Structure 1
Amino acid sequence: MPRVDFHSQVNDKYNYTCRLVRKARAANCQIIILVKDEDQLRLLDEELWQFSTTDFLPHVSLNDALAPVTPILLTTHLSNAIPHRDLLINLRNEVPDSFEQFNRVIEIVSSDTEDAQAGRQRFKQYQQSGVQPTHTVASTT
């Protein structure tokens, strides 16, 4: 079973995701970011390109021809064709069907009431599947 970490009370999911990605890349992790739809994928893509003038966060969509050689992949769905399984960052409001295939899952939960409630539901679902998730209140630094 993967390690599952919840990061809650996040003010800006995109910026927070970029900071997590930068940290994970510094540790040489390969990352899949699961988003809810194409609009969110486009917004996150833009944020990753503009996030830092000194950090290069190479990323493409999972269906891009360069996906097998790119360390950060953005997708709206998981498939069996995922080229790496170090870290899954979940921005959706549901537990991914095949989360077990990853070494680690990070769930990002905003301070929005509806998102927080969905996060609590996911936390319970992970517990019911035999995972003991951890919880961290997001830092703003």
Structure 2
Amino acid sequence: MRVEFYVLPTTQTADRLNAACRLAHKAWHAGFTTFIRCADTKQQAQLDEMLWTFRRPSFIPHALYSDHCHAPVILAIDERPQHTPCVLINLHPKISSHLDCFNRVIEIVNQDPEQLNISRHNFVNYRKQGYKPARVEL
């Protein structure tokens, strides 16, 4: 499994969500099922709204896990994907306990001090689990 930390130059939370939309759009166009793991239901609702209007006139077909767990792009929190393998875009502060379901994991990092600490901790934990996380500058 590939683990990548996509690093943004800004501190804005909205930039992390925009990056998640861009990456989901790219993965969907490449034919990959994409699982976006949100931090909470508030972030899930924000991302749901953004995916409807992210790229005009194109539409990113997505659904909340509770509504349709087999959509091309799925918004979840801690659920286990029904379709595997797939791409995980992790916006949750913790590493997923379902890593066996994914062939690629993307963590989106911004320059907010709290987010940087969370990301550093996750980077170390991926290494402890035997993965070799890579850093990608956006």
- Per the normalisation by structure 2, the TM-score is 0.91
Backbone CA RMSD of aligned residues: 1.3
Partner of residue 3, structure 2: 4
8 A contact 2:62–2:75 mirrored in 1: yes
Match among 32, 35, 43 for residue 32 of structure 1 = 35
Structure 2 unmatched ranges of 5 or more: none
Partner of residue 93, structure 2: 93
Q: Distance in 1 between matches of 2:130 and 2:84?
A: 23
Paired residue secondary structure (1:67): coil
5 Å matches for 1:1-141? 2-9=1-8, 11=10, 12-64=15-67, 66-68=68-70, 70-79=71-80, 82-138=82-138
8 A contact 1:31–1:85 mirrored in 2: no
Give the superposition deviation at 1:10: 5.3
- Per the normalisation by structure 1, the TM-score is 0.89
Q: Distance in 2 between matches of 1:10 and 1:31?
A: 24
8 A contact 1:22–1:55 mirrored in 2: no
8 A contact 1:10–1:108 mirrored in 2: no
Query: What code does the residue aligned with 1:106 have?
Result: I
Structure 1 unmatched ranges of 5 or more: none
Query: What code does the residue aligned with 2:41 have?
Result: E
